[in-house]
Structures are given as C-alpha cells and as structure tokens.
Structure 1
C-alpha cells in the first residue's frame, strides 16, 4: 500500500473529471483480505458486489424490517450524467458509497448526506458501443486496500485511489482490435484483481485474467475454450476440451466469454466462474458435427493462486440457443439428505435451477424453475438435459421457437439467498425466441455473428400479433426452495427485465421493476409491504448499509440494457432517468417532476422500393442495426428511433451517418467495412417501409 502523508491540503487537489475531490466525512480503513473474508459479519458495510465472497446478497441488518418498512422514504438522490442503462451494484465502505455508471464512470458519495466526493471518467470512446450487445452498461466496482477497480467498456482495467478518485494505474486486458467489451464487476482475491470480458455474439474467444492489485501486472489467464490446436494448448484442460469440438472453431472465436458471474470460497480456496455462449450461436457453423464444446455454458472451478482448472459442470452441452451459464451463482451450506453440504446454486438462462456440490462439481439436483420446451428434464445419472429433438435447429435446419428465448429464463440481474428462510429469490422471465438457420452464413467484422437469420423472427407489423407477443413476454419474482426444488411463492410482473434482488434478516426482499417501481416484500410469503415510484425502469440490484446506527437501502435506477435497446416494441414508453436513490425510515426527500418522453412524429417519405430491396434491407438491419435501434426498427427510449429520424428522407446524409461515421462521437460508427452504398440504401428503404406501416397503424387508431 502506498505511504500517505498524515496531512493533506484538500484545497490543492486537482479537479477530477469536473468534480472537486473532497475528504470523506468518515475514517476509511483499508479493504483487506481479512475484511472481505469476514464480510458476512460486517453489518454496516457492503464490501464486494455480492456483499460477501459467497455472493448471497443478503444482509443481517434488521432496523428496517417487515413491521416498519412502510415508513421507508427517500433520504437522498443523485442524478447521473449518463442517460443509458444503469446496472451496477453499489459498494458501501466506511460511510462512502461507490458506484459505476454507464460508460464505465465511477463516483463516490457520502453515504449519509449524498454529497458527491469525487467522480472519475475513463473517457471510453463512444464508438466502443458497436461492440456491446446490450448497451454501454457497467455492473460495478471492486475494492482492495486503498483502491477502487473498474472494468471499462473498451476493455481496460482501471485502478483508482479510493479517497480521491485519482487514477493509480490502468491496463488493457483485451485485443482492442477485436469485438471485446467489459461490463462485469471485477473481483479481488488475495491481492489479485480478476476480470473477464464479453463479445461472444460478435466472434471472440473467452477468458479471464488475474492482475496484481498494486501495479496491474498480469499474473495468470484462463481460457475457457481451446484455440488453434496447431499452436498448442494453454493447459491440459484445453487439450481435453478440444476433443469435444469439431471443424475449425478457432477461426470463429468459439465464444465462452466470462462476462459477469463469479464467486469464491475462502475455505476451499476455489474461484467459481460462469462461462457464456458459443460463437456463433448456431453450432452447425461453430462446430459442425456437434460435440459438447467445453467449456461453453459451464460452471468452472479454478485455483485463484494460479488460475489452474479444478472441475467443471456443463449446464447446456453443445449449446446452440445462447443459453449462457454466466448468471449469478450463490454459495451456501445446506442440509442435504440430512447432512451438511457445501453447495453452489445457479439459475442460468436455460430454465433449470442447479444445485452442485461445490467441492467437486457433482450434480445434486436440477429442476425447471420456468416454462421450457427445449428440454423435458435433466438426467441425474449423466447430468445432461434431455433435449426435444425439434429444438436442435442446427441439426434439423428448420426454424424453431424456443422457450426460454435467447435472453433466458433468468438474465444477468442477481438473485439472493436468505439463510433465515432458506429460499433463493429469483427475477424470472417468461420469454421465447425464434431461431432460423441462416443458409450461407459467413462471419463479418461487425454486427451479430450468430449464424441465425435474425430478420426472419422480427416483430411483424400486424398490431394484433405485436400485442399478443408483448402480452406473452412477462416476468416474476419467485421464492425458490433449493432443497425441495420447488417454487414457494410468486409475484407476477407485467414484463421482463426486472431488477436484481436483495434480501435482509428483517424478513424483507427488495426488487425494482421495469415498470418503474421499487418494492419490498415479506420474505417468507411474498406479501407486498411497500412500493414507491422511481420514474424509470430498474435493472440493478439494491444494497443496504448502516451509518451511525441508521440503516439505508440504495439502488441505481435507469432503464436500458438489452431489453431497453433491442426489442424496442417492449420499451417504447419507459423513460431513462438515471439516478442513485437512497432510502431510510422517515426519509422526506422527493424526486423532481418527471419529464415525459417526447417522440418525434412518424412522418416518413413514401415507400417506393421493391420488395426485393426491402427484404435485403430487413436482413441487413437485423444483423447490423437491430441490437441498438430495435427489432423491426421499432426503437425504444435509449437510442434514436430511426423510423422517426429527421434524415430518413435524406439519402446523402443517411450514407454519411451509416457509412462515413458522421456521428462516431455519439456511438454511431462507420459501417463502411461491411456495408456498401447499395446495402446502406436498402437499410434506409426498409426503415422507410417500417415507418409507413406503423404510421398507418397509428393513424388508424386515432
């Protein structure tokens, strides 16, 4: 740890990112290994993203409880300067709140007053957005010693002085010429800061890396899928994995990115990582001839000292549906068969709730926690799902609508586990997705590289079909008994993509919703006890902390993420109001009046293009544009709705934006490397057609 002067002249500290660094109102102690290992008994603080290394996201605080939560009110709020999805879990350390925001910015606040202490902007190039499947989000920071660590969207790991926000060191963790991003929170174990990355939808090879906390020196790297056999393997685990792959998978990247979930058991000294989907999704292209394709869609245990493989369990062998196993993992000690058992629990995208022995990866139980049609059950002898043969569109060559869909029965929003009730609280989604094999598919430098014709499943113009699709896409908060493998209670949600979960010893469960509410439920039976309007969709998970004996509950709010940008038809009325909200008993603060979402009129030029040109534009839009501008060109409230664009009727300006990168600094990069002039014009004509279709519907409904 760096030596510090005992006296600091705060007036001489430079302005950081437009904000004066000011001293915290409380003494800040170093975040040590001992503190993190003992975090479960530290009632006042929230030291790591899951509160503890076991990632239970459960607090023993009881000052706010099921008897008095109705008195909860806003203590303070802080508006953020990034109007995109907010997904971070705050840290609360010795009276200071640390958050990351969209575009990987970091801010520190006095946890009692809400005073901004410092702000840091890593100045992520806005053209990095084209590499991000799901908005410019960030899920949190990590702390160790006197530093705060954050991963940036453009692939850097940054270390900041915790007291001032001053840059200490930074290191590039990815090949920035490839389609890598970082959106997940780092973890720090024994002086090693560990970070993964994302990008499997765009064609990369997954790995995680450990760096020295003091200087950013790389210490080890663990690849999750094998590379080119001719170049040798980085470990025996990859040599074994290569036997489960076919063809020349390494030329397409392979996938398997570790973009979010990790957990750590100090007693076993094992780090658990969740591994993502294949690249491309369609296994017929990725690994022609099949195979399990290890270690895709797997929970993998590593030795954090050197990154060596310990064991793995694969949730979806030979995955072809984007069924990641990157979802939140929880460690707990449960009574299993009458005996104590060290377990790891996960509810990944594929719809099964898994309980494994975390000492060796042995499957103990797997039951469906959500509707599904791709599989009937998990064979407890082999540990493999029994698949519906029709779901294998990669083998049948026929379209398939799968439940759950690519966004999963449970996405990234964290669940929680209460030792008091023994329940896991899961933000569940009921979704479907059409998979249509794309004939003649080839990888591109930009856009989705998934091997599926995304245009074939686009939302139709028919308003009745749209309405039915929206109604069928719902969500829920459920309490799940992991020992009995059964649902105990359920709270229905009107849509998907609701926030992460916090449980407390005060018999409470907190969750925010996509519909703009922040709510508390009785943890034992799911009775709603408190609800408040937060003016925007909530994606992030709440935390709770205490200062001077008073308990607070904090949550980041701000609509965005994959559901805020890709399926725009589901989020056209949800505004983005990015804020940090902090509540306490008797809080009297109020939010400013909500500014309504103002949409430009649908006033497109006449559609005169041929059906062939429209079809070509539809395909290109789905592959290169839909991730940001919405399925079937129906935009949400985060990125511009191109149907309402002022340049839709201006062919020259459209070309300048799409091909020449006129708006690069806003995140709209040049697509010249993958799209020619005629293709860009086809996209424009498709958007014109869609705008005319929706205008006709709008006029007919008046």
Structure 2
C-alpha cells in the first residue's frame, strides 16, 4: 500500500456552516475527521450534518436529496468552476465522493482514494491499495468502483481484488484489512465494484462475478475491527454439502427447491454488486441481487424453477443477517437481468394510506414500489416504451406475464430491455417536495439465443453466458440493425404513486449519468453530450449547462464549507456501450467542483479531432470470422460493446499500428499499463486471429457510414 500525505488535515476541518445558512442554527462541532455515527446518519438534515455527504446515497434511505438550497433555480446561472483535479485516467470513474466536515474523500480507478480540502481542492493524502493491473480483465466491467464509506474516523474501501480496507481518515494510513472472498478456480472469479455501506457500525459489502461463474453472497463486518459478523448467500450451493452454517441457511431452504440440475457447478450467480439500503427503525438491510450464472436458464437450471434469489430484493436482519422477506422481480432469469440497480426508501401516500416503501427501477424496465416492512408488491409499471420481456406484472401473484417467445431458444431474437439495461447502476434520486423519482433511462435491445446445453463448457474467469453467438448471421444482422434504429436515452421523472411519467429530457444517445436532487429545485446530471446539466426538478426545464469534454456517469453530490455550497462530480466516461455514438474524444477523467460566482478556473482544451482510420480489406474466410464473433462475445463485448460497437475503446477503428500489435496486446498484455491485460491464459494465437478477423469485418461493414460523421 502507498500513502502520500500532502497537507494538514486538521486545517481542513473548519466545519461547514451549512446549517447556519440553511436553518439559521449554529453548526455542531465534530469530534474529528470522518466523525460519522448513527446519531448523525439518523439526522442528516440537522445542523452540522446537512453540510455533508456522509454515505453513498447521502442517507441510509439512498434518496440522494440534499436539503441545501443556497444554489437554486433563481441563481444557478451564476455557477462556475471552483476547482478540479485531473485523475490521470481515460477509464470510467464511477464513484460518488463523500464529504465530512470540510474534507472531500474521492475514489478513482483501481480504488485509489484521495482526501482534499473540500473548499480549495488542496490534496491532503492519497492511499493506493496497489490493486494488480490484471484485475482490469478479471473483473467483468473494468477497474472502476462506485464509492467508499465513512464511519468513526475511518474510510472504508471495497477493493477490486476483494480486500475490505479501513484507513485512518486523518492520515490515510491503513488501520485494518480483511479478504472478503477467496480468489482462484474453479469458482473464485469474484470482484468488488460496488460501494461499501456502514449501518450502525457494520460494514456491508457484496461482490460481482456472476458472469464469470460464482455463488453470490453479502458479508457484514465490524467497522472497528474488521471481524466478520454475518454472511448471507443469495443462491443455494451443492445440496450434498448440507447447510453452510451461515445466516442464510433458513433462506436456502426456501431457495433450494426452485433450482434444478447441477447449477452449483457454475456458481449460480445472484451477486449483490451494488444495491443496498437500510431502515434503522425496522432494523432491516435490503440487498439487491443479480443475474444467473450461466445466463441461460436452460443450461443453468435445465429450464426449470424460479431460481431464488436471482434478481430479487432480499431483506435481512441487520444484526444477525437472517432472512426476513424477499420479492423476486425476474423469476426464471434468462436475460442477464439484474436487480442490483439503486434502491431507495421513502414514505408515500398510496390509496389514502401512508406506506413505508422501497423503490427500484431495475434492468427489466419495470418500476417497483414495495412495502419495505413486509415485501408486499404495491405497484409495478414499465417505464420504457420497448419491453419485449413482459407485458405487465400480475398484481395477484406478483409475477411478470412474459411476452410470447421471451425465453431464449435456438433461434436468435431481439430482447429489449437487454443486458444493456433499461436503467443500470447510475444513481437515481427522489425529491420529497415534487414527489418524483429521477433516473437515467435507456432503450437498447440486443440479440439473444441459447446454445445447446451439451455444447456449453465453463472457462474460469471468462464470461460464461451460454449464449449462442454464431447461428443465423443474416437474421442477427437484421435484428441488430433494428436495435440500433430503436436505441434511445433520456432523463426520466417518474411519479411512484401514480406510476406514470411526469416529464423527460431526451438525449441524442443513451449513456448519461446518475442524478442529484436538491431543495433548490435542482436536478443535476452529467450528459452524453459531454456536459454537466442542471434542470428544474419540477418541470425539467434546463437551467444551466457547461461543456466539460467528458461524460460524467457518476452521481453528483453537494455540500457546504464555511457557508458556501458546492456541487462536485466525477467526470470520466465508462459504462454501458452505446450503439450509435461516434467514438468520443474525451479529455482525461476529472473531479470537478462548482460554486456560485467562481471565476478564474478553466479546463484544459479538449483533444484535437482525429479522422477514423481506414480498415484493411477483409481477407479471412467466413468460418474464421464466425469463430471470432463467438470469441469476441464471450471475452470482449462487456468492455468493447456488443457486435463491436461502442465501449471503452471502439475496436472497429484501431490504427494500423494497433492492428499490427493486436496479438501482442490481446495475448501478451503489452498495453497492461492502460488496463488491457493479456488473455494468453484463455486465448490462443488462432483465437486472437479470429477475433481480429471479426473486428476487420465489422469495421468494413460500418466504415462508410461512420466516417461520414466525424
């Protein structure tokens, strides 16, 4: 581990007079750096607390609504850039920063955490956990993290390689570390990309890796010592092994009968890689679970059973981790759908009665309102116009009514929503004044077909979807053309009581980021147009927008220091691929901080436009291209986009130099310093040649149209 201490943290702890500005009361004096505790978290709008952003979703309810209103719809036009920090990466930076009593804590790629004076941007310390560069490949979606946690003088890091690390908030020195999972074959292909949460002294962390073949679980640790308190598995293991001896044992008795075959050979999936919430009054932790492993239901569970607790919300006792209730959004999960999208708690008046609810808009395109005490489904309606998965949710059974042909068979078909999601991990917000939930919605279909179970083979640390990606290429091409034509993205304001759209802002493409709501009637979002935009929360009217040469996919935060309100956001493009988006010419990722009337700080000029390189002529036989298509889908599509469109780097438009070095890059990791670790342990020279042939074919198919729109 490496620590750099560059400032005196005590000098940065001049407490924010946020409450004085907001409520007229004097601020509460904190007891030291990152002095977060249960009392403060239960009163986040109280004097001395409202200045801060102390947890990932602001409060344990994850509403991302700040009571600060110094910046508001009447003066937001005066917003200017106060300071920024270049994060020195071209990868996606997805983290939500934290601010506690005048200090801003931020996380970049590979879990590097930096503390700043939140008013000036002075760097106080940096902690680098030295995550191995190979984890850019071993994790499904690259080396990004969505955030950190703070509690009682410590900052908590869920490292990509599975370590949960507590560092001293004053110095950045490591206090303790524990390994949350065992890495290694056959079923140890886990990773951590989600933000840890601390609930009344318990650090709760999940993991990812269902695409690679793991059994999902969530663990709680003592925030002071790192001692494990409880563990909850989200899917059953091998029945022959008997009970796990963990908090989830009673729940596995419910789940086990819903599985068939030998699912445990491939883990089963169900990883809880991002979504959590906590109700301290009910003493419940809510866990959002992910997709199946393999993706194809016919292979994973012989096409039988609901497969609990895939794509579900599971409520567990915060102290013991024991099961309390569940609601499954996607029984018979077959589409790489996840319910790991943000969840939020609120009290809503429904049918003349106040209900304590939990809300979620997961991948499948339905917005769910559920009683958070009992798990009763209160309402569910689709929030996207395209939904070839289910026509509606049966309110008597709580089950989706699947569209004809929704399950995957041998014939390729178009699914929308797809694994690209109607709403993915990007944070959403709830404004109790407007009664609206805000989220980044999108409509992106993809082509699905299941391979024969006898043809499926498991490869460690590779996407093991079970999809057939080679059959009927002409039909696939037609379906992909339709998917691209129908692609769209928008900022959606949704009324959870009436289950209806209030307004939307349409963007030229999907890919815009998470949102922040404030008492100033503001809604803040980074856009796919490479801007930061602020809208009126009640109407969607554009109030302010600034070009920033980047696409911020993370959620913004707001805070106060010495009576001055700031807005901060990580701006670093990296998320789901976008079909029709020309290659983005982004600047490096940056942490951007704004305040009213800030002047004198400007961003460096953006990079110069570069013409698309002409691809070489396709000389490979069709069989090699077809094999390359299959290998690309299993090894490359998660980062570089389905059908080689979009992604971290659009591989259709490689330079001649990159093409000449293709085998060395793919097999031997010559670009490891940029995150592209070699796949030589999984792919052969012939495999690399086949993937390259497929990419050349795709480039030739699209060059004429793409080059006409630089």
- State the 1:602 CA deviation: 2.7
Residues 1:449 and 2:460 aligned together = no
Partner of 2:412: 399
In the superposition, relative to structure 1, how do residues 461 and 379 fare at CA in structure 2: closer, same or farther (>3 Å)? closer
- Cα deviation 1:451-499 (Å, max 9, x = unaligned): 113466999999x998875453211112111111111111111111211
Partner of 1:677: 685
* Cα distance in 1, alignment partners of residues 473 and 647 from structure 2: 15
In the superposition, relative to structure 1, how do residues 417 and 238 fare at CA in structure 2: closer, same or farther (>3 Å)? same
Residues 1:300 and 2:314 aligned together = yes
Partner of 1:25: 12
Residues 1:528 and 2:542 aligned together = yes
Contact preservation (8 Å) 2:612, 2:707: no
TM-score by length of 2: 0.90
Moved more, 438-447 or 638-647: 638-647
1:516-665 alignment to 2 at 5 Å? Answer: 516-563=530-577, 567=578, 570=581, 572-596=583-607, 599=610, 602=613, 605-634=616-645, 636=647, 638=649, 643-649=654-660, 654-665=662-673
- State the 1:363 CA deviation: 0.6
1:176-215 alignment to 2 at 5 Å? Answer: 176-177=183-184, 178-215=188-225
Question: Of 658, 667, 680, which aligns to 2:675?
Answer: 667
* Cα distance in 2, alignment partners of residues 401 and 221 from structure 1: 38
- State the 1:606 CA deviation: 4.5
- Cα deviation 1:267-319 (Å, max 9, x = unaligned): 11100010011111110001103211000000010111111111000011111
* Cα distance in 1, alignment partners of residues 432 and 507 from structure 2: 25
Question: Of 389, 407, 424, which aligns to 1:411?
Answer: 424
* Cα distance in 1, alignment partners of residues 532 and 472 from structure 2: 33
Residues 1:141 and 2:148 aligned together = yes
Partner of 1:254: 268
Residues 1:36 and 2:41 aligned together = yes
Contact preservation (8 Å) 2:88, 2:588: no
Residues 1:98 and 2:105 aligned together = yes
Match of 1:615, SS? helix
Match of 1:684, SS? helix
Partner of 2:332: 318
- State the 1:682 CA deviation: 2.1
In the superposition, relative to structure 1, how do residues 342 and 620 fare at CA in structure 2: closer, same or farther (>3 Å)? same
* Cα distance in 1, alignment partners of residues 707 and 69 from structure 2: 54
Contact preservation (8 Å) 2:414, 2:483: no
C-alpha RMSD over aligned residues: 2.5
* Cα distance in 2, alignment partners of residues 293 and 461 from structure 1: 29
* Cα distance in 1, alignment partners of residues 85 and 671 from structure 2: 29
Partner of 1:154: 161
* Cα distance in 1, alignment partners of residues 513 and 58 from structure 2: 17
- Cα deviation 1:58-87 (Å, max 9, x = unaligned): 011111111111111111111112321011
- State the 1:669 CA deviation: 3.4
* Cα distance in 1, alignment partners of residues 119 and 473 from structure 2: 48
Partner of 1:274: 288
* Cα distance in 2, alignment partners of residues 108 and 572 from structure 1: 33
* Cα distance in 2, alignment partners of residues 498 and 697 from structure 1: 24
In the superposition, relative to structure 1, how do residues 482 and 688 fare at CA in structure 2: closer, same or farther (>3 Å)? closer
Question: Of 358, 362, 367, which aligns to 1:348?
Answer: 362
- State the 1:598 CA deviation: 5.5
Partner of 2:22: none
Contact preservation (8 Å) 2:444, 2:484: no
- State the 1:146 CA deviation: 0.7
Residues 1:174 and 2:181 aligned together = yes
In the superposition, relative to structure 1, how do residues 431 and 629 fare at CA in structure 2: closer, same or farther (>3 Å)? closer
* Cα distance in 2, alignment partners of residues 125 and 510 from structure 1: 34
* Cα distance in 2, alignment partners of residues 428 and 604 from structure 1: 34
* Cα distance in 1, alignment partners of residues 96 and 658 from structure 2: 39
Contact preservation (8 Å) 1:460, 1:632: no
Contact preservation (8 Å) 2:581, 2:646: no
Residues 1:122 and 2:109 aligned together = no
In the superposition, relative to structure 1, how do residues 530 and 517 fare at CA in structure 2: closer, same or farther (>3 Å)? same
* Cα distance in 1, alignment partners of residues 77 and 639 from structure 2: 39
- State the 1:438 CA deviation: 2.1
Match of 2:691, SS? helix
In the superposition, relative to structure 1, how do residues 583 and 392 fare at CA in structure 2: closer, same or farther (>3 Å)? same
Contact preservation (8 Å) 1:21, 1:165: no
Number of aligned pairs? 679
* Cα distance in 2, alignment partners of residues 401 and 467 from structure 1: 11
* Cα distance in 2, alignment partners of residues 157 and 136 from structure 1: 15
* Cα distance in 2, alignment partners of residues 457 and 81 from structure 1: 43
Contact preservation (8 Å) 1:312, 1:361: yes
Q: Show structure 1 runs of 5+ residues with no match.
A: 1-14
- State the 1:190 CA deviation: 2.1
* Cα distance in 1, alignment partners of residues 617 and 73 from structure 2: 59
* Cα distance in 2, alignment partners of residues 609 and 495 from structure 1: 33
* Cα distance in 1, alignment partners of residues 211 and 190 from structure 2: 10
In the superposition, relative to structure 1, how do residues 459 and 133 fare at CA in structure 2: closer, same or farther (>3 Å)? farther
* Cα distance in 2, alignment partners of residues 354 and 321 from structure 1: 19
Partner of 1:11: none
* Cα distance in 2, alignment partners of residues 480 and 697 from structure 1: 36
* Cα distance in 2, alignment partners of residues 460 and 379 from structure 1: 33
Contact preservation (8 Å) 2:270, 2:310: yes
- State the 1:263 CA deviation: 0.5
Contact preservation (8 Å) 2:91, 2:572: yes
- Cα deviation 1:148-187 (Å, max 9, x = unaligned): 0011112111111101111112222112222211111100
Match of 1:531, SS? strand
Residues 1:243 and 2:257 aligned together = yes
* Cα distance in 1, alignment partners of residues 666 and 590 from structure 2: 32
1:430-445 alignment to 2 at 5 Å? Answer: 430-439=443-452, 440-445=455-460
